[in-house]
Chains A and B, each alone.
Chain A
């Protein structure tokens, strides 16, 4: 199915729309531009106005958003149009149509009373808040108080911390739907970081060939050529890992998703930092956009709880393996 469609075409469309979003007046305008291009509901069912395509078609949109420094919670919109389609089709339709801007508070639970890591929550209409039981509830933004909207690390889609006014009230999602949303989030986040890091590499490789020192371009120096080669390896590794995760390998689809995401979370910032180093003093200026990429990549690592995920994987590994070749070794733990 969908063999006649090429996800690459979505990337080109997304890149063009995202570029025009930079000129838009506010978040509502950006929502309209993205919705008109059909980008927000790509993976949502047709019943809610979506295209009903598999998640791999949303991947190039997330990637283009990372590359294009999009000031919109696009990962959240893509996830919510799909997750809400069954329980709240009208809301899913409205988010896909750009009429409602929705975001997700990636840290904390409703029971805490305070949740955080919610990109652009200060400008959103709806916020998905997770529950301790694994489910979630989509609340109206006005039912919560934004306690910290000061610019966070991410300048494009600043995170906010939110205090909930009493028990959250809104559209409820069950634990299975939330689990599926979180799994898809790993893929879109990996794509976002990859797009952002790949843009950093392009900027650095171009600069290395334009900038001349000691009578030759920076790119003539082997130490810098090798630095850029390592960054290219990092991007290629993310790309192939994402490709593999999307194919859901039989030997472990969840492991493939986790590994893709953890690699993006570890290597993405390194590529951005490397580009800043290559730009020298210019790299440390506000004007050169590399810091914007670094900020948004680092913010994604928080949304995706990469450090926690690595600890979880370590704990799971140490609990033993299912490799039958070592089955005879007695377990003393």
Chain B
């Protein structure tokens, strides 16, 4: 793995120059093993993926908006968006540490104390700490405020007992962004407290759950008398969660900002691979209209995301409007996945080369896309948010 020296971020970037830099770096560093369109290559190992992500940061393509004091690049969402356009267009694997970079990091920046920021933020970008998110529980999914994991004060910190589930990446994480409660479950949103729990603490038991795409990414995590230092509590009880909620509403809208371009790239791959074989192209041609609609939808996602970026850059709150892009992109991608799967399922039995690579990729996309309308607030939760907080629809006369 080659890694380039961090770019000079002191000079204001000209429009488009950050994209040029990103494209050039990715062309150099995204190897065949890392590429998601090369199914015939042996898959990259976790260590390779981690090294790639660390290099991505060094090259100025991760932690773009984070302060320089914490190993960030001190730039704006403009540069973040430019880099993400190029990241999206490339057949690049999803980040191993997206929870660290897109959830824990922004929350730490908002509610963490100086010592916590210095301890955790550079470690996230340098891939020394992979993070997982301990929010959902068996009895608290969409209804997060029903969570029961208990945090009790001890002489020198906290004792945690409970169970988390759907914790993506827990088995490879060093830290868990844990949401627990100090009081009784009936208190709902009151008494919630956030921790940065070290995953090697005694009493933590991680069990992998095999997901429908055969992956072992998400887990259940059991906390049995786990002792956590006071220094690992993020914000005060109540306060930490309130601030985190505000961060979450932004993150829902802006995380994985490359999505529209990634979906466009998947469509590009579908078309290009089908054009390598006359029989496949004949099949593809019967889907011209549906594919045109998908292409239009990718433009819509760009519009929804870019509008929110502008809003944030103008210093305004986006509040519940983050539900619009989440709702839209997840369903748009599922429509693409359905159509793409149907197309590759009709390939002739002797299809090979680019068609096989494509089929493998599309099968993965089709299955994994089923999660997209479930995680980060289900489609139904997003619709509820829009009805209640944007349309202000009353429920009683």
Contact = CB atoms under 8 A, between A and B. Distances in A.
A326 B324 contact: no
Contacts, number: 167
B303 A226 contact: no
A103 interface: no
Nearest to B90: A325
Given A220-B395, A243-B307, A330-B276, A325 B288 contact: no
Interface string B352-375: 001000000000000000000000
Given A326-B268, A329-B354, A244 B278 contact: no
- Interface of B: prevailing SS: helix
A171 interface: no
A232 B288 contact: no
Q: Interface range on chain A: under 10, 10 to 19, 20 to 34, or 35 or more? A: 35 or more
Given A225-B387, A263-B300, A325-B37, A318 B288 contact: yes
Contacts of B382: 229
Nearest to B327: A233
Interface string A27-61: 00000000000000000000000000000000000
Contacts of A245: 303
Contacts of B386: 229, 232-233
A314 B292 contact: yes
Interface string A263-302: 1001000000000000000000000000000000000000
Contacts of B387: 219, 225-226, 228-229
A237 B91 contact: no
B273 interface: yes
A193 interface: no
A26 B303 CA distance: 40
Interface stretch (A140-148, A153-161, A208-216): A208-216
A75 interface: no
B383 interface: yes
Contact of A314 (B91, B291, B354, B395): B291
A148 B40 CA distance: 63
Contacts of A317: 267, 271, 288, 291-292, 295
B394 A217 contact: yes
Contact of A233 (B37, B89, B307, B328): B328
Given A233-B386, A263-B296, A263-B300, A333 B278 contact: yes
B85 interface: yes
Contacts of A133: none
Contacts of A330: 276, 354
A259 B300 contact: yes
B236 to A, nearest CB: 35
B396 interface: yes
Interface string A306-328: 00001101110110110101100
Interface of A: 205, 208-209, 212, 216-217, 219-220, 222, 225-226, 228-230, 232-233, 236-237, 239-241, 243-245, 249-251, 255-256, 258-260, 262-263, 266, 310-311, 313-315, 317-318, 320-321, 323, 325-326, 329-333
22 contacts: A212-B397, A217-B396, A217-B397, A220-B394, A225-B391, A226-B384, A229-B384, A229-B386, A229-B391, A233-B327, A233-B328, A236-B324, A240-B304, A244-B299, A244-B302, A255-B299, A266-B293, A311-B289, A311-B292, A326-B37, A326-B272, A331-B272
Given A317-B271, A329-B273, A332-B275, 4 more contacts: A233-B328, A244-B299, A311-B288, A330-B354
